[in-house]
Chains A and B, each alone.
Chain A
């Protein structure tokens, strides 16, 4: 699964500025929300900045424009103005999950599950670490029944620490504990590009998760492919 995390990490974008410590909080949070790291480059002037991805510059602009845009008072945002090219360049690739709590992970997992349910097609693959986390949660099981009923091919994964629950979903027992440290939800979108989403994380400390999530179709395709290559016994279909 680490290869999946690495695949998403490789998509990382970086905001390059003269001095990252000078960035205001709003710009910093905007970077975090979009998985954009910050890197210093002393050859830039204090107001110059650019977005690099894969060793190339994809957009450049000024720190003051970026700061003014993300910090605009929503009450006064009107029909004037456009989105700076630099802001457009923030998206793409994946978003980082850094030491997220279980609660926040649940919210993101629901977002992906809702996409599957709404689309009513395609494949959903969800790793629960321990099977008891799925089997012991009636609400979650009911939701997964709904997702199957909507027309989605569903498989859930977990170390068999309890009897697999009966249901219309496929339960894959992770007998070797290969996936025991990972919380993941992969949805291939059922052929709808706008519906794909994937979350791949590792439990970095007790109850805290780190990794990435993405809605980029080509990336999600790659993740399914990598999962099949690395774990043919678990992701054979």
Chain B
């Protein structure tokens, strides 16, 4: 595929009439104004390229949808976007992406660790934007797939690209923490090498402190997500060597404005 030609076809900015932008501008006018819409406040902006962020918080507060939303500014700038989906198929990842990012969900590079494990058929041989791994326990396979996904994008799009890893928690169901640590060390190194940004989701429920500490020490920044009041969840970014930001509210929901996680 000629990615240069593809790039010419993509909307040049989030304001090209994409429904996601319209919807969220409306939401910003609601009484809980002050919540961040997509693209309005990109917390990764203040981080240097090559930074890896661990996104922590309890299950079901909207960490993953926040992450998908944080892919949007880079996607709109024409940077490559990679998603490693450990527990959902590539098409589901593309659906979520389409909820938050204008442009083509097809353009998303996905490493799918789910389809083969569940014994699902279909196009499991992969294509030039989808790489299949036998299971989330096959970390050699995940590592190869991430390398291949990155190698398949032109160098100029790899710089300041964003990689979403959803999630580290799933890896910990299959492999011991030392094995996961070594894998993450390499994976974050790859993000560094391309001057990208890594977002690694870690559900903090029932995670013992030592495991959490072992995993989080690999990262340059922590994006904490917590339950807010009834208007939605809140996030806070702490980068090493700087003070924590204040908590920011964000609304969950995709283009339909529903409570889609």
Contact = CB atoms under 8 A, between A and B. Distances in A.
Q: A and B from one assembly?
A: yes
Contacts of B176: 29
Best-buried of A80, A82, A110 by chain B (most CB within 10 Å): A110
A103 B206 contact: yes
B157 interface: no
Given A74-B183, A194-B89, A79 B117 contact: no
Contact of B189 (A75, A92, A110): A75
A80 B151 CA distance: 11
A139 B204 CA distance: 13
Nearest to A83: B141
A79 B151 contact: yes
Given A107-B169, A120-B260, A87 B141 contact: yes
Contacts, number: 137
A232 interface: no
A111 B88 contact: no
A74 B189 CA distance: 10
Contact of A74 (B60, B92, B139): B139
Interface in A32-66: 33-34
Contacts of B198: none
Interface of A: 29-30, 33-34, 69-70, 72-75, 77-83, 87-88, 90-92, 95, 103-104, 106-108, 110-111, 113-115, 117-118, 120, 139, 143, 146-147, 149-150, 192-196, 215-218
Contact of A113 (B59, B64, B135): B59
Interface residues of B, number: 51
Residue among B118, B143, B173 facing the most chain A CB atoms (10 A cut-off): B118
A77 B139 CA distance: 10
B155 interface: no
A110 B140 contact: no
Interchain residue pairs A-B with the least CB separation, the first 9: A74-B186, A194-B89, A77-B143, A106-B206, A33-B137, A33-B174, A91-B135, A91-B117, A75-B186
Contact of B144 (A33, A81, A92, A193): A81
A182 to B, nearest CB: 19
Interface of B: 58-60, 64, 87-89, 91-92, 114-120, 133-135, 137-141, 143-144, 147-148, 151, 169-170, 172-176, 179, 182-183, 185-187, 189, 203, 205-208, 259-261
25 contacts: A74-B143, A74-B187, A79-B151, A83-B138, A87-B141, A90-B135, A103-B208, A106-B205, A107-B207, A110-B203, A110-B206, A111-B169, A111-B170, A114-B59, A117-B59, A117-B261, A118-B88, A118-B261, A120-B261, A192-B92, A193-B89, A194-B118, A196-B118, A216-B118, A216-B119
